[in-house]
Amino acid sequence: VTDYAPYEAVSWDGGVLRLLDQTLLPQRVEYCDISTLDQAIEAITSMRVRGAPAIGVAAAYALAIIARDGDATATKRAATALAEARPTAVNLRWAVDRVLQRAEADSAPDAALGEAKCIHEEQREADRQMAQFGASLVVPESTLLTHCNTGPLATAGGHGTALGVVIEAHRQGLVAGVLVDETRPRLQGARLTTWELHQHGVPHRLIADSSAAGLMAQGRVDAVFTGADRIAANGDTANKVGTYALAVIAAHHEVAFHIVAPLSTIDPATPDGDAIPIEQRDPSELLAIDGHALAAEGTEALNPAFDVTPAPLIASIVTERGVLRPPFAASIAEALAAPALAGGG
């Protein structure tokens, strides 16, 4: 249990990697223990653990479990398999690379585990900072709109990214209400964000993704906060599919559109949005819900899990080092060059 959320998406408990199984929420709060590479990869691909930073933290611990055996070839192979489990969220590759490098540089049995714990601790600190910086953008009596799930479940850091800002702004008395996109097809908004806002006592209403434009036209949305799965060097941002549509309609209605993400989500090696790989998921996610068919038998579906919001549609990118403003190529480069946070590795 953290200082903030009464549940933990990812924890290391007496030598065991424990995940809150997000596929069972909101009906059941159950944890699953991970002790093998196959279990870790299954948990990431099936989205028992999900959200860019949270899968990075989980994969870091999973790789530390493999590295404990001291077999360098097996560790390298595991790192590749984990990094490829979900291609868009760059935190996954970033965290796995860090643990692999540490394991290769230091043969002590717990060196890799130390690195995984460090990544987790840095995420906690980043979550705290993002919540504070982001809340400074919220004006009193705001109705905030959010997409997907970006709370403590999505970061394993205690606060979350965009939802961490929303919850902190609520704690500061600034929030009149939150509109929660249900987020088709996996319904992270309906299943996870409503559950988290309920846990934190934040007033909210669920909306169909497609109702956001009409609500903005009626002046019922003051700002949009979403997370990110990968931010390119120029500020183009990949996030859960539907985010781009929100950014376009927010621009049309002059509603501020903010991204909240730790620096580990920024990939300076990705120059722009065109270079971000978009994960294509199984069509069955669209064609059925909980085993119940939604479309005529034989229907084909296209299921990109993310889309890219071009930087010009983004008002600010909230990071643990402050609020970045356009032009993002410059503000991102400056933030990445700044010294690490105290307590960071």
Applying CB under 6 A, which residues contact ligand MRU? Answer: 50-53, 89, 148, 150, 154-155, 161, 188, 227-229, 239-240, 305
Catalytic residue among 21, 181, 229, 267: 229
Pick the closer one to ligand MRU by CB: 51 or 87: 51
Assigned token pair, 128: 């705290």
Q: How far is the CB of 208 from ligand MRU (least distance, A)?
A: 18
CB of 7 to ligand MRU, least distance (A): 16
Beta pairing class for 266-267 and 230-232: parallel
Question: Which CB sits closer to ligand MRU, 49 or 66?
Answer: 49
Can you tell me whether residue 79 is helix, strand or coil? helix
Which residue lies nearest ligand MRU, judged by its C-beta? Answer: 227
Task: Work out how close the CB of 47 gets to ligand MRU at its nearest, in angstroms, rounded to a whole number.
Answer: 6
In single-letter form, the type of residue at position 150 comes to: T
Q: Vertex 308, ends 302 and 312: CA angle to 5°?
A: 150
- 33 a catalytic residue: no
Nearer to ligand MRU, 142 or 264 (CB): 264
User: From CA 94, how far away is CA 91, in angstroms rounded?
Assistant: 5
Q: Which is nearer to ligand MRU, 85 or 113 (CB)?
A: 85
- Nearest residue (CB) to ligand MRU, 41 versus 148: 148
Return the C-alpha torsion angle 89, 93, 99, 104, nearest 10.
Answer: 180
Amino acid identity for residue 242 in this structure:
G
d(CA 303, CA 311): 24
Least distance between ligand MRU and beta carbon 171 (Å): 19
Rounded least distance, CB 122 to ligand MRU, Å: 14
Instruction: Work out whether the CA dihedral 308, 311, 313, 315 comes out positive or negative.
Output: positive
How far apart are CB 53 and ligand MRU at their closest, in Å?
5
7 φ, ψ (degrees, to nearest 5):
-155, 160
Residues found in the chain: 345
Q: Which two tokens stand for residue 215?
A: 């609500």
**Contact assessment for residue 206 and residue 241, using Cβ atoms and an 8 Å cutoff:** no
Comparing CA positions, the residue from 126, 213, 218, 122 lying closest to residue 164 is 126
For the CA atoms of 151, 256, 230, 344, the dihedral, rounded to the nearest 10 degrees, stands at: -60
H or E stretch at 179:
strand 175-181
Q: Which is nearer to ligand MRU, 148 or 232 (CB)?
A: 148
**Active site (catalytic) residues:** 229
